[in-house]
Chain A
Amino acid sequence: MTQARLTVEDLTVRYGALQAVRDISATFQPDSIVGLIGPNGAGKTTLLNALSGFTDITSGRVRLGERDITRLSGQARVALGIVRSFQTVRLLEDESVFLNVALGCERNPQPTVVEQIFSLPRQWRARRRDLAATYQILDTLGLSEFAGRAVAELPYATRRLVELARILVVHPEVVLLDEPAAGSDRAERDLMGRTLRQLHAREPFTMIVVEHDVDVVRKLCSYAIALDSGAMIASGEPDVVLENDRVQEAYFGVGHRA
């Protein structure tokens, strides 16, 4: 169960003259599923990067519980349980599904390199623990039959699941998903939405999802934040946010009612 709440206060990320994210303040309740919506270039991915430590924060704060993590490196944030996926799948394409997922066991405490190389007792225990965790998450996500296959041989939707398995192999605190259903068709999007909800129900964690698909956001998220040109224009219940005039305008253009 997630204990800590993630909060951002007056968060701004600037690239030269461009303010990719402007003065965003929000609280992500523990174990909630929050949808980040907005048109292209609204700053959704930048916000995710700022939360995960993949981009420098110009001003403002990020906190996990009471802890100020604004200046922590991406690596340090991963160690706190803040893990992310990418808009384009980032996997070791020539390696097996098993290896790709086991990579996520990095967040378990690992013995020193010397202990690993000489296969000392701490390494046996770590190895047994990591293998078990990897097989279990592969089973949960229905990937067991692909365990030995090279990632490059698999269809795109399956590779998405492999990336998800890499995140979930060690229970995370906060999961940041950047368009988990991008490049998928309708059926695959629905399946991804259902899978995420089931995984979340089994072992809750705070989930922040960038998603374009309005239906997926409605069904999946308990809270939504709408961004436009780097600023937050609405937040609250997904249904309410999606009906908001400014969101409608940003999404569908002026005067259009869906």
Chain B
Amino acid sequence: MRIAASIVVMAFVGLLPFALDSYWVFTLSEVMIYAIATIGLDIVFGRAGQLSLAQASFFGLGAYLAALTTTLPAGLQFLLVVATAMIAGAVVAIPTLRLSGLRLALVTLLFGELFIWALDHLGSLTGGTQGLVVPALAIGDSNSQDPTYGYMLVLFFAVAATLTAVQISRTQFGRRLLAVRDSEVAARSVGIGLVRTKVAAFMLSAIFAGVAGWLYAHVVGFVAPPTFDLFPSVYFLIAVILGGAGRVAGSWLGAAYIVLIPQAFSIIGQSNLFPILGGGVLILVALLLPGGLMDGATRTAGWIRARYAAMRQMSSNRRPA
């Protein structure tokens, strides 16, 4: 049943680009790219509880690596992105040895600002504030900037990221993350290494963001600092909180929100409204659904099931014995 459903869903998303015009295909690719990075942030923030404001920096690291290594074969680029993201993630994780919560967030913010500073000041390499044009990655007889091909490329990695996140929930590593978030004392008492777990979470989260950034550069074809500064980092955080921490489907919902809603506002010509409405939505979710949209959906489903069961109970009681 689950397998059949998965096949139907996969067939649907696989055929989607042939049914939509290229603008929407491109937009969906963007949603998937942001979903990969959001899933990554969910690992370090949603599950391990370490507040990070550097996710867009890892995203940018992957994107600029793509822009600077276009001459290398794609496989090699990918490995380079993964390796660099791992190192960067480990470096950003160092403050977690002493800090947590808002103080940790401030230090990760510092890393993010350093990254933007470096982009701005290494103009000869990074194009400075002007950014860089990224030549398309050849795939078969087309390339990554063809909407349909780009979509397929991103889809492959988005599925892999989703499966990885689901698999993590099934492992002791996944349980370690939750223990580090909820009770460091409990984690220590069963022998979990807090430092190792936090560093691993940061490294993994950076890999997801790095790969997402790498895809972003190849699909969008242009990279510039504003895509990778504090604001996108905050948006990733919003995506995790809004969707529901620790839930893969929540990361997808959150990513869809941060990509599609601003677009919807610009389509109706009111793009300035998004920050205002976005803030309102966040407050509402935080007040009404502290577990995020996914948690709200689960509870609603449970409520409907309970009502349905109660109704059936009542109607069967009414029947004469």
* Residue positions of A touching B, CB distance < 8 A: 52, 54, 74-75, 78-79, 83-86, 90-95, 99, 102-107, 110, 113, 116-119, 123, 126-127, 130, 166
B192-A106 in contact (CB<8A): yes
In the assembled complex, B188 has its CB within 8 A of some CB on chain A: yes
Q: By DSSP majority rule, is chain B's interface helix, strand, loop, or mixed?
A: helix
Q: Which residue of B lies closest to A107 (CB)?
A: B191
Contacts A83-B189, A106-B190 given; indicate if A117 touches B173 (C-beta within 8 A): yes
A91-B172 in contact (CB<8A): no
Complex CA distance for A113 and B188, rounded to whole angstroms: 18
In the assembled complex, B253 has its CB within 8 A of some CB on chain A: no
A74-B175 in contact (CB<8A): no
- 8 example contacts (A-B, Cβ-Cβ < 8 A) are as follows A75-B192, A84-B189, A91-B183, A94-B182, A95-B182, A107-B191, A117-B173, A126-B172
CB A95 to nearest CB in B, in angstroms, measures 6
From B188, B189, B192, residue with most partner A Cβ within 10 Å: B189
* Stretch in B33-41, B162-170, B307-315 with 4+ CB within 8 Å of A: B162-170
B182-A92 in contact (CB<8A): yes
Complex CA distance for A130 and B174, rounded to whole angstroms: 14
Complex CA distance for A54 and B184, rounded to whole angstroms: 12
From B172, B173, B204, residue with most partner A Cβ within 10 Å: B172
In the assembled complex, B226 has its CB within 8 A of some CB on chain A: no
In the complex, chain B residues whose CB is within 8 Å of the CB of A84? 189
CB B202 to nearest CB in A, in angstroms, measures 12
In the complex, chain A residues whose CB is within 8 Å of the CB of B237? none
In the complex, chain B residues whose CB is within 8 Å of the CB of A105? 172
| Inter-chain pairs besides A74-B189, A113-B200, 9 sampled, C-beta below 8 Å | A75-B188, A78-B191, A106-B176, A106-B191, A107-B191, A116-B167, A117-B173, A118-B167, A127-B170
In the complex, chain B residues whose CB is within 8 Å of the CB of A104? 190
State how many residues of chain B have any CB contact under 8 Å with chain A: 24
From A85, A94, A102, A126, residue with most partner B Cβ within 10 Å: A94
Partner of A123, one of B171, B176, B191: B171
CB A188 to nearest CB in B, in angstroms, measures 22
A127-B190 in contact (CB<8A): no
In the complex, chain A residues whose CB is within 8 Å of the CB of B176? 103, 106
B189-A78 in contact (CB<8A): yes
In the complex, chain A residues whose CB is within 8 Å of the CB of B191? 74-75, 78-79, 106-107
Partner of B171, one of A85, A107, A116: A116
In the complex, chain A residues whose CB is within 8 Å of the CB of B168? 116-117
In the complex, chain B residues whose CB is within 8 Å of the CB of A126? 172
CB A101 to nearest CB in B, in angstroms, measures 10
In the assembled complex, B178 has its CB within 8 A of some CB on chain A: yes
In the assembled complex, B91 has its CB within 8 A of some CB on chain A: no
From A74, A113, A116, A130, residue with most partner B Cβ within 10 Å: A113
Q: Which residue of A lies closest to B191 (CB)?
A: A78
Complex CA distance for A52 and B186, rounded to whole angstroms: 13
A91-B186 in contact (CB<8A): yes
The 10 closest A-B pairs by CB, nearest first: A78-B191, A116-B171, A90-B186, A92-B182, A106-B190, A116-B173, A106-B191, A90-B185, A113-B173, A110-B172
CB B24 to nearest CB in A, in angstroms, measures 33
Contacts A106-B191, A117-B167 given; indicate if A92 touches B172 (C-beta within 8 A): no
In the complex, chain B residues whose CB is within 8 Å of the CB of A103? 175-176, 179, 186-187, 190, 192
In the complex, chain A residues whose CB is within 8 Å of the CB of B178? 92, 95, 99
Within 8 A of A (CB), among B189-207: 189-193, 200, 204
Complex CA distance for A172 and B185, rounded to whole angstroms: 19
Q: Which residue of A lies closest to B169 (CB)?
A: A99
In the complex, chain B residues whose CB is within 8 Å of the CB of A78? 188-191
In the complex, chain B residues whose CB is within 8 Å of the CB of A54? 188
From A78, A106, A126, residue with most partner B Cβ within 10 Å: A106
In the complex, chain A residues whose CB is within 8 Å of the CB of B189? 52, 74, 78, 83-86, 90
Complex CA distance for A104 and B190, rounded to whole angstroms: 6
Q: Which residue of B lies closest to A123 (CB)?
A: B171
CB A111 to nearest CB in B, in angstroms, measures 8
Contacts A106-B176, A127-B170 given; indicate if A75 touches B183 (C-beta within 8 A): no
Partner of A117, one of B171, B175, B182, B183: B171
In the complex, chain B residues whose CB is within 8 Å of the CB of A113? 173, 200, 204
B173-A107 in contact (CB<8A): no
Q: Which residue of B lies closest to A52 (CB)?
A: B189
B171-A92 in contact (CB<8A): no
In the complex, chain B residues whose CB is within 8 Å of the CB of A118? 167
Complex CA distance for A158 and B173, rounded to whole angstroms: 26
B172-A107 in contact (CB<8A): no
CB A174 to nearest CB in B, in angstroms, measures 13
Complex CA distance for A85 and B178, rounded to whole angstroms: 19
A106-B172 in contact (CB<8A): yes
CB A185 to nearest CB in B, in angstroms, measures 25
Complex CA distance for A144 and B238, rounded to whole angstroms: 37
Q: Which residue of B lies closest to A119 (CB)?
A: B167
Complex CA distance for A74 and B164, rounded to whole angstroms: 31
Contacts A92-B183, A99-B178, A119-B167 given; indicate if A74 touches B172 (C-beta within 8 A): no
